[in-house]
Structure 1
């Protein structure tokens, strides 16, 4: 019926298939066994845009079901067939939305498809990302964010990122639904090599990150802090760029009243400076009142965070023992003493070193 020459009959058949593929995995599997994939591909090769649009909707449902079904679609060259339709002159916005959503479903499930199977989408996104349609942009940006998670160090992905980075920065002026995936993209790129991190700094992303720390949205602040932490995990030049953008001072300002997830990511960003930065940068960190917030951060019940905070204190105090007076004034030694018998041996050892070396009076 889907291949019927009578378009209305074929449309109703595809509509039924679309509804079934939005159901259970068993229903979708049964349709695949009946050969629905080949039929949908046949429709994509036709010149009937109304049928194509709903065929792509069904394909999106199948791709969203499982990595197994998604990979089956990829093996049938579904990506290329979808992308080819973006070049048609009679394409409508509804088609672009459906196709972008289908590609989103192809990209989002782990394990991610091999990059070479996804590269045919890049030229399409380079064009469509300039569309002024929020629904489409959200799907495209999330699709790219998923790929950046897996392939942020791959040359072909980096080249693609470079080609759209200016547009991505511009889209950061949009709403939160678009900002979040874009922040993920930049954060993932920053988690790669120093060369890749330099790339995002060169895109003027730090200006937005500073402004985002004034946002009322906890999600925006969390994602921004995570991106910042990936940058401060880099080299001294990159840390200087963050400091020159007044981001470090702002992070310290927001920590006391921040939500837990924001506070945690902000702490990582600051500790990366203390641990991986140079002495000049550590001094700047202290001058921006980092030690004033340490006592509250040490109370957070998170082993990984506690460990990195202790390492930060060791680095700072090794540089200048006089800073121990600042910590004594805000009660940090008492908090450290309460952790002396921590079940994590690495943490217990660092606390013992701190107390023995810099706060002898607090040692039991």
Structure 2
């Protein structure tokens, strides 16, 4: 197997999905939401909003179909307030039982009544905040096309904002709904608003940025719809220049999603200079911002660094390594700590000079080595990736710097631990291969036998015993076993424990005899290059 450096884009974790606001109900109920609704003006029965349905479904249905505008509006307002209470799913079920989707579309296109349009869009927003089945009812009923039509024809900002909110909820319900909306051309009016943000109030801009970010959710570089969302990237980049934390956070989520998966398609270089990276690094330095802002900012930097050489260099030039070292590699927040390490590993997967930048950044490598002892295996995994990537160029100078930081003891610890995840073991073994590959010294006239300057050093540190334990801990057929045998056979065959008769023996339950037999057979056959 040929070793190679790897970069990774960061996925959204299940433990932060709630924060990501996939779907948002508009719960901004007016102060009279809990009022007792009377017959004063509209003739509708007296009831509290929470009891509107199903008890008074017949009265509401009749009011919605009334030729009297005031009565229709009153019924729509009551439904909106009803949907703005808790237990959204149950309330949406009750509203959909009225079979009023065609009527909502009709109200939505009542261009001479902005208030009715607005209240109707609000109802649709909260229906779309329910379950996927609820969203499916809206889409199947043709609501999305009419939402986009009104969005592009209405001149009322409040109506536009509420429609954008509804579309954001629909797009957040999955790739199928997202692609339906994107294919209908929804992004153009959204980007127009963001391009001319100074003409709109901040609420409109906030909702539009959030909805745009939702349109980017789950759309990877390899997806056909990816080309539809890439025009949003530079405009979202402009949004992070604003001083609104909500706008900054959502803009960064959008950019990080657009960049997701681009590490496998490095021809797509969306970051053309370091100005965006400088702003992102500046935001990381602002202690007044919470982790809910720092996380998407850092996630965007991680995914930028996963791209082409120019993008990775932009991250370095912006001073990201210094800030990551001083503020994030040692931070208590687990997700931020892990993502900081992931950003470093992406830079370390770059060119010679980029690896050099990682290894020479004061205290950076020291912090990464400390993370090898972290209590969270996700953090340990990223730290192992840093070491594997930093050694992958097989540069003697790089190896020398890394070995000065006493990494071997921590690697041995994880090799010996039977609960160490396979992905971590693989990266540790890759790192050892990288180091030992540099240490190979060919034979000379005075010293005919070829040797390895690092084999003795690692063997004396306990690496051989740790590898044997790793081999025994691995299950039958596990590829880890073959990688361990490759290491032992190529660099440590002479260091396998033997008794005085030169036969391998079992020691403390470790099946040395079996390993020695397989390694000996492999050596007789000329060796097996498993790396």
- TM (norm. structure 2) is 0.63
Match of 1:124 among 235, 244, 247: 235
Q: 1:63 to 1:275 in 2, by over 3 A?
A: same
Shift of 1:163: 4.9
- How far apart in 2 are the matches of 1:231 and 1:126? 21
Task: Report the RMSD for the aligned CA atoms in angstroms.
Answer: 2.5
1:3 aligns with 2:3: no
1:58 aligns with 2:166: yes
Q: Is residue 231–residue 239 contact of structure 1 (8 Å, CA) maintained in 2?
A: yes
1:75 aligns with 2:183: yes
- How far apart in 2 are the matches of 1:72 and 1:186? 30
- How far apart in 2 are the matches of 1:188 and 1:156? 11
Shift of 1:83: 1.8
1:107 aligns with 2:216: yes
Q: Is residue 2–residue 10 contact of structure 1 (8 Å, CA) maintained in 2?
A: yes
Alignment-derived partner of residue 350 in structure 1: 486
1:206 aligns with 2:318: no
Q: Which string of whole-angstrom CA distances, capped at 9 and with x for unpartnered residues, describes residues 164-216 of structure 1?
A: 22211211124322222233323223333334322322222111121221212
Shift of 1:69: 1.6
Per chain length, whose mean CA-contact separation is higher, i.e. which structure has more relative contact order (CA < 8 Å, sep 6+)? 2
* Comparing 215-224 and 1-10, the one that deviates more: 1-10
Q: Is residue 109–residue 117 contact of structure 2 (8 Å, CA) maintained in 1?
A: yes
Q: Which string of whole-angstrom CA distances, capped at 9 and with x for unpartnered residues, describes residues 1-26 of structure 1?
A: 12232222222211211111112333
Q: Which string of whole-angstrom CA distances, capped at 9 and with x for unpartnered residues, describes residues 125-165 of structure 1?
A: 24322111111111110110011113463446233x74522
* Comparing 36-45 and 327-336, the one that deviates more: 327-336
Q: 1:339 to 1:39 in 2, by over 3 A?
A: closer
- Which aligned pairs between 1:281-360 and structure 2 lie closer than 5 A? 281-298=398-415, 299=417, 301-318=420-437, 319=439, 321=452, 323-324=454-455, 326-328=457-459, 330-341=461-472, 342=474, 343=476, 344=479, 345-353=481-489, 356-357=492-493, 359-360=495-496
Q: 1:268 to 1:73 in 2, by over 3 A?
A: same
Match of 1:165 among 259, 266, 277: 277
Shift of 1:266: 0.4
Structure 1 unaligned runs (5+)?
none
Structure 2 unaligned runs (5+)?
1-106, 441-451, 499-511, 514-531
Alignment-derived partner of residue 225 in structure 1: 341
Q: What is the aligned length?
A: 363
Alignment-derived partner of residue 397 in structure 2: 280
- How far apart in 1 are the matches of 2:426 and 2:149? 58
1:147 aligns with 2:258: yes
Q: Secondary structure at the match of 1:69?
A: helix
- How far apart in 2 are the matches of 1:292 and 1:30? 59
Match of 1:236 among 346, 352, 361: 352
1:196 aligns with 2:308: no
Q: Is residue 229–residue 272 contact of structure 1 (8 Å, CA) maintained in 2?
A: yes
Shift of 1:70: 1.5
Alignment-derived partner of residue 207 in structure 2: 98
